[in-house]
């Protein structure tokens, strides 16, 4: 059974930093592109970052480029998101999501339960 | 970047059919995926590649895609179908995924 479990959310001041983790199990972790998708309170879904199975390629939405860094440790089956220079508008639930493989590369087939990040003074 | 437009809300009585639209420029040329997000839960894939269903998703959920509009259809709606629904495509220009703004389905 595929499982994705995020952790690391919490309250942080504007301009501060926070690191999120996503522990994966139930599949061959290094075979999949992994992603972070966030959802501001009462708002819709926003894809913010992805990383290739090997970790060599990373992808970012313009809204977080230069501030957030995605990485992975395939030996630990864990995905990370380092968030710096946080702003109030970064307040959201952050989901870890697996992208489909092969011809299904464009969809997200499994999601974690999310972790809440609140940026406030 | 590519924009997907969904109605903010759709209401339907139990047992009726709900249709949720997703508009985009020539969206008929893209693969559209739909996610259901029940209150307080993570999104879950309910339809992929316009009209296919993942295992475990009832046949009541179906989809279509043509021209500038994709549609998620939920037949014989139940109270448990009350949720937010999001369409999603891959934007070849930005090489990033794009989500619609979401539609809240209310079962009257």
Do residue B43 and residue A111 have CB atoms under 8 angstroms apart? yes
A–B CB contacts, 8 A cutoff, strictly below:
55
Q: How far does the CA of residue B66 sit from the closest CA of chain A (Å)?
A: 18
Query: How sure is the predictor about A36, in pLDDT bands with cuts at 50, 70 and 90?
Result: very high
Structure token digits, residue A59: 């992808």
Query: How sure is the predictor about A105, in pLDDT bands with cuts at 50, 70 and 90?
Result: confident
Q: How far does the CA of residue A77 sit from the closest CA of chain B (Å)?
A: 21
Query: What's the pLDDT at B22?
Result: 98
Query: What's the pLDDT at A43?
Result: 97
Give chain B's residues under pLDDT 70. Answer: none
Structure token digits, residue B9: 């809300």
Quick one: closest CA in A to B30, which residue?
Answer: A106
Do residue A108 and residue B97 have CB atoms under 8 angstroms apart? yes
A 30-49: CB under 8 A from B: 35, 37, 44-47
Give tens-digit pLDDT for A58-92: 999 999 999 999 999 999 999 999 999 999 999 99
Task: Give contacts of B95 with chain A, Cβ < 8 Å.
Answer: 59
Mean pLDDT (whole number) for A10-21: 98
Chain B interface disruption, residue of A35, A59, A106, A112, most B CBs within 10 A: A106
Residue B23: CB atoms within 10 A of its CB come to: 17
Residue B104: CB atoms within 10 A of its CB come to: 17
Query: What's the pLDDT at B28?
Result: 97
Share the mean pLDDT of chain A. 97
**What does the H/E/C string look like for A25-66?**
ECCCHHHCCEEEEEECCCCCEEEEEEECCCCCCEEECCCCCC
Structure token digits, residue B77: 């709606």
Task: Give contacts of B45 with chain A, Cβ < 8 Å.
Answer: 107-109
Structure token digits, residue B29: 């040329």
Residue A111: pLDDT above 90? Answer: yes
Query: What's the pLDDT at A103?
Result: 86
Task: Give contacts of B42 with chain A, Cβ < 8 Å.
Answer: 95, 111-114
């Amino acid at each position: 059974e595929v499982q994705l479990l995020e952790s690391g959310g919490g309250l942080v001041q504007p301009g501060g930093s926070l690191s999120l983790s996503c522990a994966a199990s139930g599949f061959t972790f290094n075979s999949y592109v992994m992603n972070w998708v966030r959802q501001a309170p009462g708002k819709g879904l926003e894809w913010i970052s992805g990383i290739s199975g090997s970790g060599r390629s990373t992808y970012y939405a313009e809204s977080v480029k230069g501030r957030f860094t995605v990485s992975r440790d395939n030996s630990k089956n864990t995905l990370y998101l380092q968030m710096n220079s946080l702003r109030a508008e970064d307040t959201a639930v952050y989901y870890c999501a697996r992208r489909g493989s092969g011809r299904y590369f464009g969809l997200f087939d499994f999601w974690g339960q999310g972790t809440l990040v609140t940026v406030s003074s | 970047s590519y924009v997907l437009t969904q109605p903010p809300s759709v209401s339907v009585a139990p047992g009726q059919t709900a249709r949720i639209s997703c508009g985009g420029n020539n969206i008929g040329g893209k693969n559209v995926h739909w996610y259901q997000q029940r209150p307080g839960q993570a999104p879950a894939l309910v339809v992929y590649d316009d009209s296919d269903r993942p295992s475990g998703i009832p046949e009541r959920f179906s989809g279509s895609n043509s021209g500038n509009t994709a549609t998620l259809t939920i037949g014989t709606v139940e109270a448990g179908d009350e949720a937010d629904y999001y369409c999603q495509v891959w934007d070849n220009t930005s090489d990033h995924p794009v989500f619609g703004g979401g539609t809240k389905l209310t079962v009257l």
